[in-house]
Structure 1
Amino acid sequence: MFYTFYMAIQITEEKNCTGCTACQAVCPVSCIAMQEDAKGFLYPSVDYDLCIECGLCERTCPLLKPISQENKVLSVYAAKAKDKEILRKSSSGGMFIPLSDAMLKEGGVVYGAAFNPLMEVSHCRCTTFTERDRCVGSKYVQSNLVGVLDQVKKDLNEKRPVLFTGTPCQVAGLLSFLAQTNTDTSLLVCCDVFCFGVPSPKVWKDYLKQVEREKGEPVKEAFFRDKTYGWADFSLRLETEHTASVEKNNENAYMQLFLQRLINRPSCFDCHFSNLDRKGDLSIGDYWGIEHSMPDFFESNGVSVTLVNSQKGKAWMEKIKDTLSLRESNLNDCMQPVLSGPTAQPIGYESFWKQYARSGFGEERT
């Protein structure tokens, strides 16, 4: 077990740490490393042979020192891409592709979560449409941000526009790091996604190992929001070199653990960002309930709800509006649990992890 409470330095309590990596990125002597705990989540660990106790990590942690900003929800839209292929391959209404298209066309850089060749999820830097395509779609695994915040800072210092997409806690960590390093963020656009909680990379890896044993070959692609059965009844699609399988959520062991919140990071149950104080210039998610509030705007392949939280976000919506079907909405109609408070820790969370430590991911576990 790795802890974040050390001698004179208290970055934040382990139960609150989101793994945003801001403390590691800001350390001037590189004495903080992100290390995996027993559940598979990354936490900062301090090397006291190198530490100079400057306190930058404490001042940068977005939980200990929340960033001050004037963002508030200025407007709300129901949105769906006009291009049916974009809509089909996106998780909901297809907001990310038009946003990232616009950024890349301006010579900018896009950061988002993608699978690497080992099927691990990490944020990657994209300067081409092909690279960007790896970031399309939801990834129900916590994304590794190690090294990414410094890359964003470098791009901004070189006067390159940047679109950063991530969970609200990741956006908060990035903004806090950039503020502490006096980085000009005028060319930065942040888009946070509605977040139910981030699942364990370890459990995902263990699940893939089980699938690969059953199939006899490694998984090459995963699509968490496959729309074979529609947007509202999405499925997990896995592809190997020779096979493809699609399982509905209620049939898939990994998705059931995620939806039951048993494999989410502990900090998700006391999330400081599950509210309308959004950190991104834009916030996007599924527009659940659209069939009731706007039945004529419902689309079987998905509709996004988009919160415009800043003048910068408003300007970027203006840039992409011609690629979208848009309908003005309001907070009452689009409100959902992830905007009003953190998800509760499920009964049996700790007992699940004790059993998982014994038996891992297998059919024998109940």
Structure 2
Amino acid sequence: MRILVTGGAGFIGSTFVRHILATYPTDEIVVLDKLTYAGNLANLPPLSTTPRLSFIKGDICDETIVEQAMSDCDTVVHFAAETHVDRSLLQARDFMRTNVQGTYVLLEVARRQQVRHFLHISTDEVYGNACSPDGVSRPSQETDTLLPLSPYAASKVGADTLAFSYWASYGLPVTITRCSNNYGPYQYPEKQLPLFILNALEDRPLPVYGHGEHSRDWIHVQDHVEALTLILHQPESRVIGQIFNIGAHEERSTLQNARVVLEILEKPESLLSFVEDRPGNVQRHAVDTSKIARQLGWRARIPFAVGLRQTIDWYHAHPTWINTIKEQRNEFLAAALQRGMQSRSVDGVAH
């Protein structure tokens, strides 16, 4: 298999690349990545000593570069996206361009080049709040109506429906996956868990939105990529034209996560800092994974308690990786790391 991995220098994409190279000795990978703030060549194995891995720096909206990258590839795994809800509230245009226009370009080139499998990586954000059609809270199912609550989620709905239409209209062999919140090594520290970990390590307040009651299902990134790999190695009749939810059934609130990070690192709860909730914040994200369990026999295997401790250990052991990111002086990340400094502490008193 020769696989084009878009966004392969990012958090989930690079985990997928490392997993494929370690597990399938005959597979070759071409990574196409723009190397925006979240893309990092340090996330990948060394290119000079990894002959089965090649890298092309480029934008998925650039059709010429996409054609070059996809040439001779029989499989596309499409991770590349703008992904952070908070950023989408400020820079929605970037999300529409990359997530919708970029996906269109990839699908068009894949159609012309007649790739064998196009695996489109999406998110449970497309469902909005996890609930039944009559409003009862329950894990989201693949057949649920898509009700995005942020520009990021809306852009992924556009990408999902576009990908599905290319299967329905042109017979492009598409599979769509929608995963719950990922965590693990190499995650850019604007996201919740690495942000909490870094702030706790450096004795900065941990910013908790609202009252910290928002609930998410958390899956270790290794479990996620193993599910994707399983899909790629299924008979086409079992996965083409299908949508699969991927999750770990590890629902936890923001406040629970902040407290367990402080507990593991033996830091005081006075570092908890409650900040104003963001617009359109989803109350509950959770996915029903019975379809992928029933049809493909997949289940997550890494308990959150184990995976979180491993993740904290990784960040603690990789200060160079963290410092390299900080040296980029990304204004959004700097503001995120400092968000809790002037907010309410755990006792509710402003500081």
Normalised-by-shorter TM-score class: under 0.3
TM-score (norm 2): 0.27
TM-score (norm 1): 0.26
1 or 2, which has the higher helix percentage? 2
